[in-house]
């Protein structure tokens, strides 16, 4: 029996319709079975973060649902959490791989795939910064190793050391010609991240403001940006 409680939430994504997600019912929960999360570098404070429906993830899912994408494009979502954007891409028939660092990430994603009546979706363990790959393999997790044509993420710049680490991770898992999409809720690290990503050959292609006024359903509203970067083989 799980020592945490869950609930089912429904979110409407542009052109994709209603998506059902299994989320944590209490965002203060912590359940580290056999210390697995700790050994993978997931602290008790960060443990419940993966299981929440974040506004940035909805905006990223909207972009995936509405942008024209080649079916041959290999896509990776990093820090996927509940995997909403990956589910939308999968629903569209795109070649998507979801990845996260949380030991329950794969399980929650499988449940959400089932809730939305989709076929199985590829999931890998992927972490930037300190390397926990060996520990992940000990626990039987499949470690991310491939390169992709498009890497996507939402709200992944929330600590001061992340811009450089994230940029290096994106470089490691991007083809010489590739794009990176980010929905950032203005946490203050996007400028440093852009400079770090430029060192790996990526240029800013698009910078679009995302804003939602407060409503009864979303009292805080939303303020952020959609950032799209590109790299060509000539500058890689």
Tens digit of pLDDT for each residue in 23-33?
A: 999 888 999 98
Tens digit of pLDDT for each residue in 153-175?
A: 999 999 999 999 999 999 999 99
* Mean pLDDT within 105-128: 97
Pairing type for strands 148-154 and 174-184 reads parallel
> φ and ψ at 40, to 5 degrees?
-100, 10
Dmax (CA) for the chain in angstroms is: 54
Give strand pairing partners of 178. Answer: 231
Give strand pairing partners of 148. Answer: 174
Q: Is the pLDDT confidence value at 2 over 80?
A: no
Residue 218 pLDDT: 74
């Amino acid at each position: 029996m799980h020592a945490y409680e869950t609930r089912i939430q429904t979110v409407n994504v542009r052109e994709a319709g209603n998506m059902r997600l299994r989320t944590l019912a209490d965002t203060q929960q912590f359940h580290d079975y056999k210390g697995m999360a700790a050994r993978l570098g997931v602290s008790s404070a960060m443990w419940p973060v993966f299981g929440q429906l974040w506004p940035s993830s909805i905006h990223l899912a909207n972009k995936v649902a509405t942008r024209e994408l080649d079916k041959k494009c290999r896509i990776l979502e990093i820090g996927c959490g509940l995997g909403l954007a990956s589910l939308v891409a999968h629903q569209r028939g795109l070649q998507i791989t979801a990845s996260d660092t949380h030991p329950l990430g794969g399980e929650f994603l499988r449940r959400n795939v089932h809730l939305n009546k989709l076929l199985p979706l590829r999931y890998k363990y992927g972490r930037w910064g300190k390397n926990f790959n060996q520990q992940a393999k000990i626990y039987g997790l499949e470690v991310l190793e491939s390169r992709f044509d498009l890497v996507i993420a939402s709200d992944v710049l929330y600590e001061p050391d992340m811009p450089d680490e994230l940029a290096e991770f994106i470089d490691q898992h991007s083809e010489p010609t590739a794009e990176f999409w980010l929905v950032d809720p203005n946490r203050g690290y996007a400028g440093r991240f852009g400079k770090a990503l430029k060192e790996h050959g990526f240029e800013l292609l698009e910078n679009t403001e995302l804003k939602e006024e407060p409503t009864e359903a979303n009292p805080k509203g939303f303020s952020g940006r959609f950032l799209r970067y590109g790299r060509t083989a000539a500058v890689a």
